[in-house]
Amino acid sequence: MTDLQVLYHDLVRFETELWAALDARLRSDCNLPLTWFEIMKLLRHRDGQRVHDVAEEFVITVGGASKIIDRIELAGLCRRVPNPRDRRSVLIVLTPEGTGKVDAATAVFDDELARRFGAVLGPVELDRMAAGLRLLRSAPQENSAGRA
């Protein structure tokens, strides 16, 4: 039987190493931090998100999402536009430069994922890993504060 503490350790360390490798590769090849890429990728596939939508998607605070979006906007890669359905809010959209940047970065991102996953695990192992992670993420979680 697998030791769950060892599994936890391996999973967290792998995630940290993977994040660092992806961030380093995107910065060196595309001059784009991974945090920016993640948000820009969301905007590329779901144009016109509110800051609140971004925060919910990445399970971060609205303030944190707003700060990252401010930096992406300052770099000219996205812009805020009025929300036609709600005058009180704005939507975040990629600029043409932002779209080109995220498209180029996606190729680099995919290549690094292939090196980290595909070159190590076969299709059956990848499918099994993906299914296990989906199951874990979809399982109802008790609020740990409510446990005895």
pLDDT in tens, the chain (148 residues): 888 999 999 999 999 999 999 999 999 999 999 999 999 999 999 978 999 999 999 999 999 999 999 999 999 999 999 988 888 889 999 999 999 999 999 999 999 999 999 889 999 999 999 999 999 989 887 655 554 4
> Would you state the pLDDT for residue 83?
87
CA proximity to 35, closest of 44, 51, 22, 17: 22
CA proximity to 34, closest of 18, 22, 49: 22
Residue 20 parent element (H or E): helix 4-30
* pTM metric for this prediction: 0.84
> Would you state the pLDDT for residue 144?
53
Is 106 within 8 Å of 26 (Cβ atoms)? Answer: no
Domain positions in the chain: 4-136
Tokens of 28: 């060196």
> Would you state the pLDDT for residue 145?
52
Task: For the beta carbon of residue 112, count every other beta carbon within 10 angstroms.
Answer: 18
CATH classification number, 4-136, choose in 3.40.630.30, 1.10.10.10, 3.30.450.90, 1.10.3430.10: 1.10.10.10
**What angle, rounded to 10 degrees, do the helices at 96-113 and 4-30 form?**
130
Length of the chain: 148
